[in-house]
């Protein structure tokens, strides 16, 4: 089992949305649909403020509720990894997986009605490349790699920096981490 993770540094993310455009191009995501998006979260009152930008996408959960709720096995883990994919030829478009994702990270994509989502760019990962969003980010605030490898960039960052995940309390075991 290989666990891939994305680690995003909120200290340097500027919310530019390059990751969003890069994903759309790379994966030919149709107009009007998004596999990733950027959230701007501001706390406090003028002039005592904090703003955090977060590039969000599927968390490639260790306990992916979308996979466990899929009645046909169309939603599945890629090879022996935590990368969650949808097998188009098995998908009925029942949308159970959409309802099952606490992150609302799925989308109905193809006009024929199969579900599509962030793939962690497994086609690039397969070639040893970073996902398209990661490799486009102008602030280099996104990192990608294997958690199992203690020496990987992502392992090191998570060891050294304070971080959080989104909605950890759902028990989904998400794998997009945000450095604080």
Stretch that binds ligand SF4, among 19-27, 41-49, 152-160 (CB under 6 A): 19-27
Residue 154 in contact with ligand SF4, rule: CB under 6 A: no
How far is it, in rounded angstroms, from Cα 7 to Cα 13?
11
Q: In terms of C-beta density within 10 A (0-12 exposed, 13-18 middle, 19 or more buried), how is residue 27 classed?
A: buried
List 79, 138, 148, 149, residue binding other proteins (CB under 8 A): 138
How far is it, in rounded angstroms, from Cα 55 to Cα 14?
10
Partner that binds at residue 149, options ligand SF4, other proteins, none, CB closer than 5 to 8 Å by kind: none
Q: In terms of C-beta density within 10 A (0-12 exposed, 13-18 middle, 19 or more buried), how is residue 44 classed?
A: exposed
Distances (CA, A) of 146 to 16, 92, 109, 150: 26, 32, 29, 8
Q: Which is nearer to other proteins, 1 or 49 (CB)?
A: 49
Q: Total residues at the site for other proteins (CB under 8 A)?
A: 85
How far is it, in rounded angstroms, from Cα 9 to Cα 117?
23
Subset of 112-151 contacting ligand SF4 (CB under 6 A): 115, 117-121, 131-133, 137, 139, 141-142
User: Which residues contribute to the site for ligand SF4 (CB under 6 A)?
Assistant: 8, 13-19, 23, 26-27, 35-36, 38, 53, 55, 57-61, 64-66, 70, 72, 74-75, 84, 86, 91-97, 101, 103, 105-106, 115, 117-121, 131-133, 137, 139, 141-142, 172
């Amino acid at each position: 089992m290989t666990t891939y993770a994305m680690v995003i540094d909120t200290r340097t993310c500027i919310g530019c949305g390059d990751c969003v455009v890069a994903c759309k191009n790379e994966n030919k995501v149709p107009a009007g649909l998004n596999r990733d998006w950027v959230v701007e979260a501001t706390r406090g009152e003028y002039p005592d403020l904090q703003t955090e930008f977060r590039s969000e996408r599927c968390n490639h959960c260790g306990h992916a509720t979308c996979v466990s709720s899929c009645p046909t096995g169309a939603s599945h883990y890629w090879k022996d990894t935590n990368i969650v994919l949808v097998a188009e030829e098995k998908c009925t478009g029942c949308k159970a997986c959409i309802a099952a994702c606490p992150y609302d990270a799925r989308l109905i994509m193809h006009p024929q009605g199969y579900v599509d989502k962030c793939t962690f760019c497994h086609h690039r990962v397969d070639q040893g490349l970073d996902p398209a969003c990661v490799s486009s980010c102008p602030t280099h605030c996104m990192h990608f790699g294997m958690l199992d490898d203690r020496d990987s960039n992502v392992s090191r960052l998570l060891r050294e920096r304070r971080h959080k995940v989104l909605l950890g309390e759902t028990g989904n075991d998400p794998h997009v981490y945000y450095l604080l």
